[in-house]
Amino acid sequence: MSDNRYDYIIVGAGSAGCVLANRLTEDGQYKVLLLETGGSDKSIFIQMPTALSIPMNTKKYAWQFETEPEPFLDNRRMHCPRGKVLGGSSSINGMVYVRGHARDFDEWESEGAEGWNYQQVLPYFKKAETWVFGGDDYRGDSGPLGVNNGNNMRNPLYKAFIRAGVDAGYMETGDYNGAQQEGFGAMHMTVKNGRRWSTANAYLRPAMARSNLTVVTHALVHKVLMDGKTATGVRYEQSGKVKEVAASREVILAAGSIGSPHLLQLSGIGRRDLLENAGIEVKHELPGVGENLQDHLEFYFQFRCNQPVSLNRKLDWWNKLKIGVRWILRKDGLGATNHFESCGFIRSKAGVEWPDLQYHFLPAAMRYDGREAFDGDGFQLHIGHNKPKSRGFVHVQSADPKQPPRIRFNYLEHEADREGFRDCVRLTREIINQPSMDEYRGAEIQPGVDVQSDEQIDAFVRQAVESAYHPSCSCKMGTDPLAVVDPETRVHGVRNLRVVDSSIFPTIPNGNLNAPTIMVAERAADLILGKPPLAAPDASVVMDAQWQARQRPGQAKRPMA
């Protein structure tokens, strides 16, 4: 064992790990080591918001995981990129800032995550952020994470989409991260002064000036070292050399929903038969490790646009060059936004208590990675059913840490998930058919007007749906037989070992996962340090009082096509 001893070792400098590195070194009392497999995030393609598709699809910055053939998606293998760079997935994601619905966190507590209900997590959301319009009962005004609305919906298509939602009888929301998620409104993003505001920029960079924080990059962690049922340190490899470091207090895994369960399994913690088949000595049997895997799916609903206002006009090399030069010189313009500036959260049917469908609106028609645009103007909606019942797994295949795990989400295995996507198609057509979209709405490109029946919709979805890149829940928090960590984020049955990242979510929230992952790390830091919890406010939540009887509050101006 090396003489380099630390109080805490954090594995993974991602959305959670950077938060922990900052908070655990704040008072100077503890010596902390942060290990990251990737390298620097100082790339224009990471820092410029509009370039978001590049780092996600670059091996240098992201693990390019691929699922096994998904049996309910016509055996397609699905792309599952995860951050491999300082900032982790917050350095490669779409920068969309969605906390989730208040009831998502009440659901966590009902699943056994005591102390993680909405009222108790809200103070940590506030602690993390500085909302561009200032703080209130729901929003923070002095946190590390900058949050804004990009270019404030200057493109007319954004507001037309919001008006169409209201035309269709849905609510409008002034702040979906505040009292009322349900409805249509402006979308928020983690961008500050025109730059991607990852957790590396927000949390890690300020902390790196502290003498009690050591950051080691290009370090592939092989396993957690154990003395009986106690975690004592980690073994990692850097530049071909294997090293061991000790933690006198705790080892904290923040390697994400693929990396953390895989690392537990490599360390001999997990399901006995799985570990034995992989040639790994069982140190602690914990059957839930790698189970309960969840994700969001989405597809692109695309239309031609009848007015010359879409971003399809900005996709040629000359316009891209101008956008890039302006961003380099001024950090503003189209280079300073992720282009998802309006959104919607709706319920798929009566009897659904809180929203389970989410819209990201984009004033262009293209793939998420920027490919396959077409000539002319267009717009699209990313739409998905966000409360899936299907469950998958992350399973170690070998004792070799360089061999990726088996990943399968079992997407759309559950009939309720297939029903949710049928609702996505039919409800979206009705929204876009409203008067507010009349001057912009052209022909439907995808799915296409011939896709109408349940069978046709199901076939389209199986072929067109893509991951929204929100893997989670694979080391769930709780007290049931499949729970991996307790409500204090400690691994059941193992001393001095925690998991703090999106893998410990009991269920996936209705929204993008960067914001709740940061919240989890903020609250976990207080738990680790033994601090009293932040005072829970009495924050009301606006919901449709008649949710049991109706799918939306109002009547559509134009009936469903």
Please state, in angstroms and rounded to a whole number, the distance separating the CA atoms of residues 197 and 49: 9
Please state, in angstroms and rounded to a whole number, the distance separating the CA atoms of residues 451 and 344: 23
**Structural domain 150-186+297-385+412-464, CATH architecture:** 2-Layer Sandwich (3.30)
The pair of structure tokens assigned to 410 is: 């079992």
Provide the Cα torsion 473, 475, 477, 481; round to 10°: 110
**Residue range 239-262: mean pLDDT, rounded:** 98
Please state, in angstroms and rounded to a whole number, the distance separating the CA atoms of residues 551 and 17: 39
Q: Is 34 annotated as a binding residue?
A: yes
In this predicted model, what pLDDT tens digit does every residue of 499-516 receive, in sequence order? 999 999 999 999 999 999
Please state, in angstroms and rounded to a whole number, the distance separating the CA atoms of residues 414 and 410: 9
Please state, in angstroms and rounded to a whole number, the distance separating the CA atoms of residues 128 and 121: 11
Lowest mean pLDDT among 33-47, 120-134, 364-378: 364-378
Q: Is the pLDDT of residue 1 over 50?
A: no
Residues 6+ apart with CB under 8 A from 288: 475, 476, 481, 482, 483, 484
Handedness of CA 476, 479, 481, 485 (dihedral sign): positive
Q: Is 35 annotated as a binding residue?
A: yes
Q: Name the DSSP class of 218.
A: S
Q: Is 494 annotated as a binding residue?
A: no
Q: Is 366 annotated as a binding residue?
A: no
* 477 in Cβ contact with 506 (< 8 Å): yes
Q: Is 215 annotated as a binding residue?
A: no
**Residue range 323-328: mean pLDDT, rounded:** 94
Q: What are residue 393's phi and psi, to 5 degrees?
A: -155, 160
Q: Report the candidate in 478, 473, 505, 474 with the shortest Cα–Cα distance to residue 112.
A: 478
Q: Is 8 annotated as a binding residue?
A: yes
Q: Is there a common fold for 1-113+196-293+393-408+469-532 and 150-186+297-385+412-464?
A: no
Check residue 67 and give its pLDDT. Answer: 98
* 101 in Cβ contact with 544 (< 8 Å): no
**Residue range 527-536: mean pLDDT, rounded:** 96
If one counts every other C-beta atom within 10 angstroms of the C-beta of residue 69, the result is: 12
Q: Is 535 annotated as a binding residue?
A: no
* 212 in Cβ contact with 30 (< 8 Å): yes
Check residue 315 and give its pLDDT. Answer: 81
Q: Is 30 annotated as a binding residue?
A: yes
Which residues in 52-194 belong to E strands, given as ranges? 62-66, 79-83, 129-131, 145-147, 183-186, 191-192
Q: Is 358 annotated as a binding residue?
A: no
**Residue range 264-280: mean pLDDT, rounded:** 98
Helix locations, 111-216, DSSP H: 118-128, 156-167, 199, 205-207
Check residue 371 and give its pLDDT. Answer: 55
Please state, in angstroms and rounded to a whole number, the distance separating the CA atoms of residues 255 and 35: 10
Check residue 2 and give its pLDDT. Answer: 43
The pair of structure tokens assigned to 449 is: 């007007």
> Which residues form the catalytic set?
470
**Residue range 116-144: mean pLDDT, rounded:** 97
If one counts every other C-beta atom within 10 angstroms of the C-beta of residue 24, the result is: 26
Residue ranges of the domains in the chain? 1-113+196-293+393-408+469-532, 150-186+297-385+412-464
Q: Is the pLDDT of residue 368 over 90?
A: no
Angle at 89 between CA 491 and CA 528, to 5 degrees: 30
In this predicted model, what pLDDT tens digit does every residue of 218-234 receive, in sequence order? 999 999 999 999 999 99
Q: Name the DSSP class of 204.
A: I
Residue with token string 């169409």? 164
Q: Is the pLDDT of residue 377 over 80?
A: yes
Check residue 3 and give its pLDDT. Answer: 53
Q: Is 10 annotated as a binding residue?
A: yes
Mean pLDDT of the chain: 96
Residue 472 is which amino acid?
A: S
Q: Is 27 annotated as a binding residue?
A: yes
Residue 98 is which amino acid?
A: V
Q: Is 538 annotated as a binding residue?
A: no
Q: Is the pLDDT of residue 17 over 80?
A: yes
**Structural domain 1-113+196-293+393-408+469-532, CATH architecture:** 3-Layer(bba) Sandwich (3.50)
The string over 210-241, giving b where at least 16 C-beta atoms fall within 10 Å of a residue's C-beta and e elsewhere, is eebbbbeeebbbbbbbbeeeebbbbbbbeeee
Handedness of CA 352, 355, 358, 363 (dihedral sign): positive
